[in-house]
Structure 1
Amino acid sequence: MATKISWTDDTWNPVTGCTKHSAGCDNCYAERMAPRLRGMANQNGKYRNGFEVTCHPEVLSKPQRSHVRRMFVNSMSDLFHKDVSLSFITQVFEVMGQVPAITFQILTKRAERLVELAPQLTWHPNVWMGVTIEADDYAFRADLLKQTAAAVKFVSLEPLLGPLPSLDVAGLDWVIVGGETGPGARPMLEPWVLDIRDRVVSAGTPFFFKQWGGRNNKALGTNLQGRTWHQFPRQLT
């Protein structure tokens, strides 16, 4: 699936569907998209189950036919959802290891299951592991992420719903910030973003500001105090 996500080149969805897990899920874009995708003939029934968690072994070979540099894994799901078996997760990791030319970017809100399964997975150098943190109550997800052996550990603070004073940026390789988009989008305040940016920059960590958000994603733009922040970890610039 082609993507407009500014920090990746393409998406790969060996799993589709999810269930709400925390506050950031309230206006889930993937849940909104699923009914439309279900009705599209060119999806070949991939969304036949709507937004129920469904594994798709038939698409595991996609990366081997791709020539992109960066690939976001499961933009329409969460690889560490409880309904995705360890066996299938292992298959996904095996495929990623077979295509070292592609950097795979994984995000999860289910950091507890991530840290539980992490010792049983092979952490290839081209696999970047991230957690989503939308509010300070979930800052602990970064601490769990740091316990994994991922080569690059990153956080996506999107949708950012409040300040994150408890977030410890030490030990992180990349920090992404973005406001919520689409119907019902909740506002993101500049002081929250500036506090995070200043701490991240002081730590020498790459900072990526994705967008301000809003119902019309493009209306408020992507600049922060007059400049664009699109920094990447040194492994991929």
Structure 2
Amino acid sequence: MSTQTSIEWTERTWNPAVGCSKVSPGCAHCYAEVMARRLKAMQVAGYEKGFELTLLPKRLQEPLLRKTPTVYFVNSMSDMFHEEIPDDYIRQVFDVIRRAPQHTFQVLTKRAERMAAFFQDYKPSKNAWLGVTVEDRRYGVPRIDALRRVPAAIRFLSVEPLLEDLGEIDLTGIHWVIVGGESGPKARPMQQEWVLNIKRQCEAQGAAFFFKQWGGWGIDGKKRGKKENGRLLMGRTWDEVPASVVSTEMHSLTR
């Protein structure tokens, strides 16, 4: 089912598949895995197998039933381009996206090469925003090149959890960069200098910059709850979205 979410850069989640497997350091303390186990214990439909990859075709039509323009994060509990999700099923998901032009759909993956290969034969509709996770230099940064090969109206990076200084990055063709620290009891710390380095490059290269959160470690280097640490950077929030597509529903994210 689609549900409201507290994720700062979206409005609702839509999970036509749930479950995943780890591919890089950003997966180490996966929030979705913890949540899936909890939902299984609560006997919530769709989580009978916990965090094992599960297709849920009965959920495919859900966005078509909602008329109010909405920003959806697709597969917040999985990865749309997981190797166990068939191409035909991915195509069905993007066909639904095409049939719901009133909505904006944000699709985020760590399997950037498969995403790039899929879109060689399928052109995404303009309301499909496609992104990759960039948590470090070794695994994350190379995904940006794969994302650039995708013919998306909006390409975005989720730099969360930011695990190290990314150094110089090429943001050519990237419209939006979301940065955040890791949360949870095993959160790894994020340094302010790493964030400011990304912010500087966004400004220089014309990408919108969105600072999501400090996470489990504050700007002062102390560990505490993510709500206590907040999301202020340089004394203010940073909620930029791609200027060329700011719409009524996207304005709601920046209020």
Structure 1 and Structure 2 fold alike (TM over 0.5):
yes
Moved over 3 A (4+): none
Contact 2:132–2:144 (8 Å) recurs in 1: yes
What letter is aligned with 1:65? L
Contact 2:175–2:206 (8 Å) recurs in 1: no
Partner of 2:92: 91
Partner of 2:17: 15
The normalised TM-score by structure 2 is: 0.90
Distance between the aligned counterparts of 2:70 and 2:50, measured in 1?
30
Distance between the aligned counterparts of 1:181 and 1:65, measured in 2?
33
Partner of 1:216: 225
Q: Show structure 1 runs of 5+ residues with no match.
A: none
What letter is aligned with 2:166? L
Deviations 1:156-184 (A, max 9, x none): 00000001114211210000000000110
Partner of 1:79: 80
- How many positions carry a matched residue from both structures? 235
Distance between the aligned counterparts of 1:21 and 1:232, measured in 2?
28
Distance between the aligned counterparts of 1:229 and 1:201, measured in 2?
12
Contact 2:79–2:110 (8 Å) recurs in 1: yes
SS of the residue 2:64 aligns to:
helix
Which residue of the other structure, out of 27, 30, 38, is the alignment partner of 1:28?
30
Partner of 1:176: 178
Partner of 1:149: 151
Overall identity of the aligned pairs, in %: 47
2:112 paired with 1:111 = yes
Q: Post-superposition shift, 1:122? A: 2.8
Distance between the aligned counterparts of 2:208 and 2:108, measured in 1?
17
Distance between the aligned counterparts of 1:140 and 1:34, measured in 2?
29
What letter is aligned with 1:74? N
Question: How do 1:117-156 and structure 2 match up within 5 A?
Answer: 117-137=118-138, 138-156=140-158
Partner of 2:57: 57
What letter is aligned with 1:84? I
Contact 1:97–1:124 (8 Å) recurs in 2: yes
Contact 2:180–2:211 (8 Å) recurs in 1: yes
Q: Show structure 2 runs of 5+ residues with no match.
A: 217-223
Question: How do 1:188-203 and structure 2 match up within 5 A?
Answer: 188-203=190-205
Deviations 1:196-215 (A, max 9, x none): 00110122211000000005
Shifted more, 71-80 versus 32-41: the winner is: 32-41
Deviations 1:188-227 (A, max 9, x none): 0000000100110122211000000005111211010101
Distance between the aligned counterparts of 2:171 and 2:81, measured in 1?
23
Which residue of the other structure, out of 225, 230, 236, is the alignment partner of 2:239?
230
The normalised TM-score by structure 1 is: 0.96
SS of the residue 1:136 aligns to:
coil
Distance between the aligned counterparts of 1:200 and 1:30, measured in 2?
28
Distance between the aligned counterparts of 1:229 and 1:68, measured in 2?
23
Q: Post-superposition shift, 1:68? A: 4.3
Q: Post-superposition shift, 1:12? A: 0.2
